[in-house]
Structure 1
Amino acid sequence: MELNEYQKQAMTTCTESSNNFSYMMLNLVGEVGEFASKVAKMIRKEELAITNNELISDCRFPELCRQEDEMQKEAGDILWQLAGLCSAMGWELEDIARGNLEKLASRKKRGVIVGDGDNR
């Protein structure tokens, strides 16, 4: 699926009261927080570990697979909110994605892929 098609279809589920910058921005932060909270709780319960910057989970156990499914759903909610925020701004997701890849390729080419700020 193309990003702009996702954005268009996603916004068919947007309510009128949600179709604005304030809601989309604030709820995007909320959805990212929900995702982070699920990860934190799994770490607390020793169902997940972060070792050498990798998430370690064992889906041989059904409860862990359910948690992974829940995390994927939260990631989908984050994507929906980002699509909504872009729509509220009059932007298309594909333009945002393309611009981001161009920015990153330029940084890599110039040897400044790691650092602070966008204008380097």
Structure 2
Amino acid sequence: MEITYDKYDANVYQSDAARTINPELTRDEMAQHATLGMVSEIGEICGIYQKTFQGHEPDPEHAKRELGDLLWFVAEYCTAQGWKLSDVMRLNISKLRARYPQGFDPERSRHRAQGDV
């Protein structure tokens, strides 16, 4: 079923994605599966663009589908950890706002505050 509305809540996505997690996995196995899956999907996305050096045209729609698969594994990892995807998203934006209060700044990127990871 295709989602037809413009806004799709991160936690709804996470819940919808969790429907297709293997229920026989332990939480540790789920986290391992998600980690390996994220790396695999990033490899697939890289492969789309690596082929441009061999004369292929990049396929943005293929990349978009692989990015969706990557997001599924991110959601699976969050589920395995007992985290809400929206909390991880908010944490990341808070970190970026603190690091770059006026938007990206190469100087602030090179000279981060102690403890800024």
- Shorter-chain TM-score tier: 0.7 to 0.9
Q: With structure 1 as the length reference, what TM-score do the two structures score?
A: 0.73
SS of 1:9's partner is helix
Deviation at 1:17, TM superposition (A): 4.3
Identify which of 58, 77, 101 aligns with 2:93.
101
Aligned residues: 102
Runs (4+) off by over 6 Å: none
- Counterpart pick for 2:22 among 4, 7, 15: 15
Q: Which moved more, 1:29-38 or 1:110-119?
A: 110-119
Over the matched positions of the two proteins, sequence identity in percent amounts to 28
Q: Which residue of 2 aligns with 1:115?
A: 110
Please give the root-mean-square deviation of Cα atoms over the aligned residues, in Å: 2.3
Larger RCO, structure (CA 8 Å, separation 6 or more): 1
User: Gapped runs of 5+ residues in structure 2?
Assistant: 1-7
Distance 1:24 1:116 in 2: 32
Q: Which digits, 9 at most, give the CA deviation of each residue in 1:27-74, with x for residues without a partner?
A: 1111111111111113421525xxxxxxxxxxxxxxxxxx22111100
Mind listing any 5+ residue stretches in structure 1 that lack a counterpart?
A: 49-66
The correspondence for 1:45, drawn from 47, 55, 60, is 55
Cα offsets for 1:75-117 (capped at 9, x unmatched):
1000001000111111111000000000100111397641377
Report which stretch shifted further, 72-81 or 15-24. Answer: 15-24
Q: TM-score, normalised by structure 2?
A: 0.75
Counterpart of 2:110 in structure 1: which amino acid?
A: G
